[in-house]
A and B are shown apart, each in its own frame.
Chain A
Amino acid sequence: MTMTVGTSFAERAQRVSAVAAVHADDVDAKGRFPREAVDAMIAERLLSIQIPKSLGGEDASVSEIAEACSLLGQSCSAAAMVFAMHHIKLSSLVSHGVGDSWHSAFMRRVSDEQLLLASATTEGGIGGNLRNSICAIEVDGDTCRLTKDATVISYGAHADAILITSRAHTDAASTDQVMTVFTKDQYTLEQTHVWDTLGMRGTCSDGWLFKGEAPKEQILPKPFAEIAAQSMLATSHLLWSAVWYGIAVNAVSRAQAYVRAAARKSPGVTPPGALRLAEASNLLQLVKSNTIAGLREYEAAKADPDRLSSMGFAVAMNNVKIASSETILAIINQAMLIVGIMGYKNGTPFSIGRHLRDAHSAQLMISNDRILGNTSNLLLVHKQDTSLIG
């Protein structure tokens, strides 16, 4: 008998997910990088699927990447978040760097060497207000230099390159920003904060003093305002939502297994958790529909920079993030109530503690209050979309 190995993105992600599942509790307990899962992503060549075929990738769509994020999220939130954040960074390169020689060559390297990309937008004194920077990139002849108090860089110590925001030059206004790619050999990191957190422990999102020097052609050739609006914010909200959906799906699956086990023991008697399970399933479907609608909207707008930069699109993406980050908490809490103490305890087949802790990061990852503040400002001029279908 010959064995056929599935080659679709989902089949490859599923194999990585199986590896991630084995180590998820250890990654969480030790707050360590999900090395095995990331090595499996590299072995399956999943780090380059978004890159155009002409540069060595596989032209995967954002929906296909979201499906992989969800599959990984069902076994290890940290591994899923690493994968999501890498592809969020890659989306900015693919959207804004394809016509540019340095960034095209770099994408080919990402494909060939399966490089892992990290992100440094958060800055001391600024927090999650990513459309503002204190630090400025200094251009000196053909070289650029940057020092940044980057208070949160997920897997900073394990990345092969960091995409980092700053003011565009030393005299630039705080909102006049650029994003620059620095490869590992071009920067030093001095640790300033230790990531010992409630959840998402394996993302190893320590704080670092970043100091880099590189050829100035590594600065992305578009204002960061456009990069944020046209690729980064949308893909962040969508791929994060996919990860969070995956976490919630797994919690509900565990709760369902618990209810089914009880039902099988005493046929004819509906287990007490069954009604709550129905409610959780209802909420889960809302998160799924919301995320899919957001993905469709992004795919439809993708070819049109004006639509991507419009207020209506920003409001829609903000709403996807708010809804999924809030609703998964309600879902996982429901799953905990269904399972009871077996869910609260670690190390049972029904444990849900890790899911609940990881899910609590969702509202803080770009604070929901900040996002709602942004939406409420836009709604002073943008009129509500009144159509149902389109």
Chain B
Amino acid sequence: MKQKIRDILGKHGGLPVPVETLADDADLYAAGLSSFASVQVMLGIEEAFDVEFPDNLLNRKSFQSIAAITRAVEGLTGSAEAAE
């Protein structure tokens, strides 16, 4: 999952540095993630994992780092399965 998230971030994040150079807990905003690009990354993730981000996850914190995004997606796919 993390690799898939990294791929999406590399494609849509518009970061000035390669994603491989970023640790899982590196601050993506400090790395140059703009608010425009963070929405594009969210869209990429929604499509790739077939999830929808609820409003309470649509904030800066959820997209602060690769680890934070992974947690958010895990939460969503977990609850999506439980709801089936």
- Measuring CB to CB, which residues of chain A are less than 8 angstroms from any residue of chain B? 131-132, 168, 172-176, 223, 225-226, 229, 306, 309-312, 374, 377-378, 380-383
Q: A131-B35, A173-B16, A374-B35 are in contact. Are A381 and B30 (CB under 8 A)?
A: no
Taking the closest CB of chain A, its distance from the CB of B54, in whole angstroms, is 8
Q: What CA separation (Å) do A60 and B50 show in the bound complex?
A: 47
B61: A residues at CB distance < 8 A: 306, 309
Say whether B30 contacts A131, CB under 8 Å. no
Nearest CB in chain B: distance from A216 CB, A: 18
Residue of B nearest to A169 (CB): B30
14 pairs, A vs B, C-beta closer than 8 Å: A131-B35, A132-B34, A172-B30, A173-B16, A175-B32, A175-B33, A176-B29, A176-B30, A223-B29, A225-B60, A226-B60, A309-B61, A378-B39, A381-B46
Contact yes or no, B60 A309, CB < 8 A:
yes
Cβ-neighbour of B39 out of A229, A310, A380 (below 8 A): A380
Q: How far is the CA of A382 from the CA of B55 in the complex (A)?
A: 6
Q: Within the complex, what minimum Cβ distance (angstroms) separates B75 from chain A?
A: 15
In the bound complex, what is the Cα–Cα distance between A174 and B55 (angstroms)? Answer: 27
Known contacts being A311-B58, A311-B59, A381-B53, is A176 close to B32, with CB within 8 Å? yes
Measured between beta carbons, the chain B residues less than 8 angstroms from A383 are 55
CA–CA, A175 and B33, complex, Å: 7
Output the least CB separation between A375 and chain B (Å): 11
The answer, yes or no, to whether B31 is at the interface (CB within 8 Å) is: yes
Contacting residues, chain B, for A176 (C-beta < 8 A): 29-32
Q: Which residues of B contact A132 (CB under 8 A)?
A: 34
Query: Which 5 residue pairs of A and B lie closest in terms of their CB atoms, listed nearest first?
Result: A173-B32, A311-B58, A309-B59, A310-B59, A175-B34
Known: A223-B30, A312-B55. A381 touches B60 (CB 8 A): no
Instruction: Verify if B66 is at the interface (C-beta below 8 Å from A).
Output: no
Chain B min CB distance to A228 (Å) = 9
Residues of A within 8 A of B36 (CB): 374, 377
A311-B55 CB under 8 A given contacts A175-B34, A226-B60, A377-B39: yes
Q: Shortest Cβ distance from A79 into chain B, in angstroms?
A: 33
In the assembly, what is the distance between CA of A292 and CA of B37, in Å? Answer: 32
Q: Which residues of B contact A311 (CB under 8 A)?
A: 55, 58-59
The reply on B9 being an interface residue by CB < 8 A is no
B55 & A310 in contact (Cβ 8 Å cutoff) = yes
Residue of A nearest to B46 (CB): A381
